[in-house]
């Protein structure tokens, strides 16, 4: 086919660019599918799925799985990072630092329950893998520092009134009570419902952080 001047259109470069973009898009789509597949398996309680299981769920061949990830550690790290990023909107506490004490306790516990419910098994896997994967270890440490600082800021007045020694152990204890590990222990190992676990943590924090610690 020629144009009006009798010249053939020069479409080779454009066709090549389209083909390259198509490959990139397929790669991105398949990579997303693999990560989603792994997160689904985590959610179902399969914390160590085989490559065949992941590939089948993602709709690709097992052999092609590692076209998109270096190894299973790389894949797990990406999946956990994705799930934590999705939960970012839940890290803010819906209560001000100058709100009444009981409101702050309830607001913090409600926020932690929403957050931990959203990160789910991915958070558990991150803790299992962190000792062997520096990327996950640093992400976990950063998350813990943030949640601890959030707790400190929300109850700054109560902590300051305690004196340095008591404030230090009170903050450390509250940090443990309001952690993912405590939530998991209550809801999994001890069989509490989410509402019951919320009540347990709220009551404990009220006693620990209330002025005078006498509640």
List pLDDT tens digits, range 117-152: 988 888 888 898 899 888 889 889 999 999 999 999
pLDDT the model gives residue 7: 54
Q: pLDDT: is 158 or 74 the higher one?
A: 158
Greatest Cα-to-Cα distance within the chain, rounded to the nearest angstrom:
94
List pLDDT tens digits, range 33-60: 999 998 889 888 888 889 999 999 999 9
User: For the chain, what is the mean pLDDT?
Assistant: 86
- Find all residues with CB under 8 Å of 80, minimum gap 6, and list them: 122, 123, 125, 126, 129, 136, 139
DSSP letter string, the chain: ---TTSPPP--HHHHHHHHHHHHHHHHHHHHHHHHHHHHHHHHTT-SS--HHHHHHHHTS-GGGGGGT-SSHHHHHHHHHHHHHHHTGGG-S-SS-TTS-HHHHHHHHHHHHHHHHHHHHHHHHHHHHHGGG-HHHHHHHHHHHHHHHHHHHHHTHHHHHHH-HHHHHHHHHHHHHHTSHHHHHIIIIIS---HHHHHHHHHHHHHHHHSGGG--
Q: What is the mean pLDDT of residues 197-213?
A: 89
Lookup: tokens for 159: 């902590």
Does residue 75 contact residue 69 with C-beta atoms inside 8 Å?
yes
Instruction: Tell me how far apart the alpha carbons of residues 124 and 181 are, in angstroms, rounded to a whole number.
Output: 8
pLDDT the model gives residue 13: 58
Asked if residue 200 has pLDDT above 60, the reply is yes
Provide the pLDDT confidence category of residue 17 given band limits of 50, 70 and 90: low
Every domain of the chain and the residues it spans:
13-69, 89-213
Question: What is the separation of C-alpha 144 from the centre of its chain, rounded to a whole number of angstroms?
Answer: 12
- Report the top-level CATH class of 13-69: mainly alpha
Lookup: tokens for 141: 């440490």
pLDDT the model gives residue 62: 86
CA atoms within 13 A of residue 81's CA, in its CB half-sphere: 13
pLDDT the model gives residue 80: 86
pLDDT the model gives residue 6: 52
Q: What is the mean pLDDT of residues 64-86?
A: 86
Lookup: tokens for 111: 């926020």
pLDDT the model gives residue 84: 81
Q: pLDDT: is 163 or 103 the higher one?
A: 103
pLDDT the model gives residue 39: 87
Provide the pLDDT confidence category of residue 10 given band limits of 50, 70 and 90: low
Q: Which residue in this structure is represented by tokens 């896997």?
A: 125
């Amino acid at each position: 086919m020629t144009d009006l001047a009798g010249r053939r259109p020069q479409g080779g470069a454009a066709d090549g660019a389209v083909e390259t973009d198509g490959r990139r898009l397929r790669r991105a789509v398949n990579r997303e599918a693999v990560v989603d597949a792994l997160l689904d398996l985590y959610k179902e309680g399969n914390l160590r799925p085989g490559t065949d299981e992941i590939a089948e769920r993602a709709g690709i061949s097992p052999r092609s799985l590692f076209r998109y990830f270096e190894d299973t550690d790389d894949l797990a790290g990406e999946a956990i990072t994705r799930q934590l990023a999705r939960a970012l909107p839940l890290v803010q506490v819906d209560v001000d630092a100058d709100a009444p004490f009981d409101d702050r306790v309830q607001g913090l516990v409600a926020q932690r329950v929403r957050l931990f419910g959203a990160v789910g098994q991915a958070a558990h896997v991150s803790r299992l893998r962190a000792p062997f994967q520096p990327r996950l270890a640093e992400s976990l440490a950063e998350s813990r520092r943030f949640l601890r600082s959030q707790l400190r800021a929300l109850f700054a007045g109560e902590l300051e009134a305690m004196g340095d020694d008591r404030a230090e152990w009170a903050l450390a204890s509250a940090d443990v009570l309001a952690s993912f590990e405590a939530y998991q222990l209550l809801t999994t190992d001890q069989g509490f419902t989410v509402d019951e676990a919320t009540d347990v943590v709220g009551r404990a924090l009220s006693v620990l952080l209330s002025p005078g610690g006498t509640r």
